[in-house]
Structures are given as structure tokens and as C-alpha cells.
Structure 1
Amino acid sequence: MITRVTHQSTQRMSLANMQANLAKMSDLQSQASSGKLINKASDDPAKAAEAMALRKEQRATEQYARNAQDGVSWLNTVDSAIQSSVDFMQRARDLTVQGANTGAIGAAGRDALAVEIEGIRDALLGQANTTYIGRSVFAGTANGSAFTTATDPVTGDVSYTAATVHGTVERRVGENTTVRVDADGAAVFGDGAASVFSLLTNIAADLRNPGVNVSTRLTEIDSRIQSMLSVGSSVGARTNQLTAAQDTLSNQSMTLASDLSGVEDIDLAQTIIELQMQEVGYKAALGAAARVLQPSLMDYLQ
């Protein structure tokens, strides 16, 4: 059986083939100009879904990295305040030892020591109320200062009260990992009559009383220094945890970027070769169609 090929069917087939060639060339041009294999989800639904999942992980990793950096800044602030407080307490201890040597220091000297210890107390209060970006690092999630003072209107005595901590400040550095980035002010500085501020106030009062031997206060000072160092060790451990998390997140970010590139980035050299091949094929198709489809006057009259 002989199949009859009409001029019109040949024309339609040639135009359809050239249109398909042109569409493929357009896709390759779009890929070459954007550098991406997927410019819309319909280009490759499976890879588009994979790319979206990878981008979601990227955004989460970037947020965890920002959280870790913020946490390190918090803990560095806490650590600096604790270290300064320990230095102040060491100085207060040295002054107390000097004040205990009653044979080598007179009343005027003891009074001078008391004044310096009161200055240390006030400096410690400043450290206890240290803030980071406007928030106290020793008050947890509570608003305001970590320690407040109140003066008795009758006796003139000053009391020091730690803020009530309703919750700790934490930073999420992984899907199931959070790290505490603040410190308990009461654990570092004590509270009320048991606070370091009250202790130094009492030592200053003892120094002004010739009949009191302040050497008995050294044990209390050592106890408060030990509490500060204990919390400082915890802060250091948490800082190391966040630093390790930062390294992990950095590696994870690079891995995700590589995976995403493998899914949606083009092979530029291969794409250019394919584009050139499509251009050659399209020109050849145009030439062949021009030779085969010779329009006559009747074609135009139709």
C-alpha cells in the first residue's frame, strides 16, 4: 500500500519539528543565562522538590548559626562579668587579710580599707547587673536588673535582692539541641543577707570596729569566690559547646550548598555544546524546509 504524502502534511510536520527544536533551544538558552537546570517547577518536579527541601535545610542551618553566634556573645559577656567579679573578690580578700593584721595597721588604715571594700561592693553590683543588648545576663527571662537595692528608712541599712527568675535564656542550635546562654545571678553573687554585697558591707563595718577580727570573714569570701568559679566553669563548658556547634553548622552549610548545586546548577560546558548543536540543527531544518516546501502562486491564492 502506497502512503500518499501531501504538500500540506509535509509542511505541518516540518513546522512542528522546527517548533520543537526552537523550544528546546529556548530552554537551553534559559539554562545558560540563569545557570540553573530548574527555572520553574514544571522543568523537573522531582528535582524541584529536592531543591526546595535543601533550601529549607539551608535556612534552618543559617538560623541555627545565627543563634549560636548570639549565644556565644551572651556567654562571653557572662564570662567577662564573672572573671571581673572574681578579680574584685580576690582584691577584697587581700584587703581583708591586711585588715586582720591589727598589729601593723591602725584605725585610719582600717577605715581606708573599709572604704575600698565598699567601692569593690559597688563595682560588683555593676558587674551583677551587666547587660547584653539591653538585657540582663544574670536575670534569666525577667525584665529589669538582676539585683535591686532597698534602703531601710530607719537604720539606713541597704539590702540587695536578686530578681525572681521565671525562665532561663536559651538558644536553639539544632533541631533537638538548645544551650543556656545566661547565668543565675543568685548562684554567682548570692541573695539578700547571703549575698556578696552584704558580705562586703559587713566586712567594711568590721574593719571600722577595732574590737572585731575580720579574719573570720575569709572563709565566707573564699566560699563566694568558689561559687563564682563554679558558675564560670559551667559558662566555659557551654561556650565550648556553642563553638563546636558553630563548626558543625559551618560544615553542614557548605555540604548543603554543594548538594543544592548538584541538584539545580547546570554543567555550563555541556549546556553550551548542546545549545550550539540545537542551533546547527535548527538552521539545517530551516534550510531543508526551504528546499522541500517551495510555495507556489496557488498556495498564496488559497
Structure 2
Amino acid sequence: MTLDDLRVFVAVCEARNLSAVARTLSCSQSAVSQHVRRLERETGLTLLERRRRGVAPTQAGEILRRAAAQGLAGLDDALRRLDDLRSGVAGTIRVATGATTVRHFMGAGVTTFRARHPEVNLQFVTADSSRRCLEAVRSHDADLAWVTVGPPLDGVEQRTSYELPWVLAVRADDPLGRRDTVTPAELAGIRHIELPERSTSRVHLEMHLERHGVRLTSTTSVADWDTALLLAELGVGQAVLPALPGWGRGPGVVRLVPISGLPPLGAGWAARQWDALTPLALEFADTVVTELNRSGVPR
């Protein structure tokens, strides 16, 4: 059993087609089959089921695929770091981010870190949800991810760095915009601009509103918090959002009215194992949090 055997086997399981993998690897289909047969001889089990259109892993094959994929991802990560050492590069930090992460949370931290370490390669992996950011970390596609802290995910550690209070975003000329605070009960009649379905922030909000007997109805939905704020500014409706850094500083068309009685939303870093991160990755994570502290964002 060799690394090449495992790499080819994982590729076949993902593509579900021997000839497709052969084309990708620029080799013959029989060469791909030999890798699979060698694994089957060593395990003593059938790993692939031949179907009319391609192949699929058997139960035994799926067990091997999962283990091999996880191990190969970690090995590829290690080889990448060794390549950095060999080529003299100071290091690479891969950060999974959502649409609003860098703008609202990382700007000052990235600037400070870059000034301190201009030779470090910073790679930002864009993902459209916290869940996908966590998956990028778990699959070794990212070292760190800034996420909305949610339910535990096997293979990933999450740390809350900030607690963001919930606010109602309304136009200043809206009657609710003249209030100092609003209660959850007063949200029942708003023209709600809803957050992305199954997003961590929406699940958190709906769960705690239900405890107050409130269920919001909506005819408008958005993919991110910034768009919800913009639509509230345009008067399309009102949005219930976490108070992000940089929002509500100075006069404007939109007012952010604090909502009493709702637990804040946690945000912070995620990694596979904190004690396995490189010193540079740890420094980057600490720098981002330090700069946010300086900006006066509530913890």
C-alpha cells in the first residue's frame, strides 16, 4: 500500500469513474485499476462496486476513503509547510472567511500583522457561511477560520472572541428608530428582512425569539448582514442583526436600536487544534483580536 495507491483510490471514489481519473492523471485506465486492485489485495476486501455507469465505494471502501482522505489532507498540509522551509519562505497562513469577515473584523489586524511580517504569505479562502468555513478548516483547506460560533463540529475547535449584541436596523424616520431600546415582543410586527436560511446567526436569533413567543414573518431575504443593512437604509424593511464593528458610528439614515432580552451572538476563531497551529498562525489570530479590542468592540 503506497501513498499513490491511496491518492488514486480517493480520486476514484470522488469521481466515481476510472477513466475520468485516468484522464486527470494522464495515465491509462488499467494503471488506475492496478492501484485499486493492490489495495483490495492488501485489505482482503472489495473496495469498489462496478456499476453500469462508473463505480462506487463499498462499505469497506468508504471506510478506507474517509481515513485516507483525512490522512492525505494532513500530509499535504505538512508537505506544504516543508516546501516553505525548503524554499526559504517564512510561512503561509490560510484563513477561511465569510463575506463580511475581513471588512468588519480583520482590517486592522491584517494591516498590523503585514507590517510586522511582510514576507509571510496570507491566503484568504472565501466561504459563504460559517459552516463552510468550519468545513474548510476540518478538511485542511484552511488553518484558521473566523466564524459565528455555533454547534460543535467534530475535528474543529471553536473559541468565542466577541459577543455581538443584537440590534434592530431601521431608518431614522421610522417610529422605532426614535427608541433607545426595543423588546423582542415589539419585533413581531416589523417588515422583517430575514437572514440566510440555516445560517448560525439566524438559528440563534429564531431560537431565542421563540422563547419570547415571537416568530418573525418576512417577504425579503438576504445572503449577508451588509445587504440587510442596506435594504433597511432603503426602507425595504427592518433587519434584526448583530452589531458589527464599524456600524452605527456617526449620524446616518439608519439607526441601530439595541434589543433587550436577547443573548448576544458569539464570534471568534476556529482551528483543528490550537496547540498544533504554527507560531505565525497563532500570532495572526492574536493580532486580529488585539486590534479589535483596541477598536472598542464589545466582548
Confirm or deny a common fold (TM above 0.5).
Answer: no
Higher strand share: 2
With a CA cutoff of 8 Å and minimum separation of 6, indicate the structure with the bigger relative contact order: 1
Higher helix share: 1
- TM-score scaled to structure 1, two decimals? 0.20
Q: Specify the structure having the higher radius of gyration (Cα).
A: 1
- TM-score scaled to structure 2, two decimals? 0.20
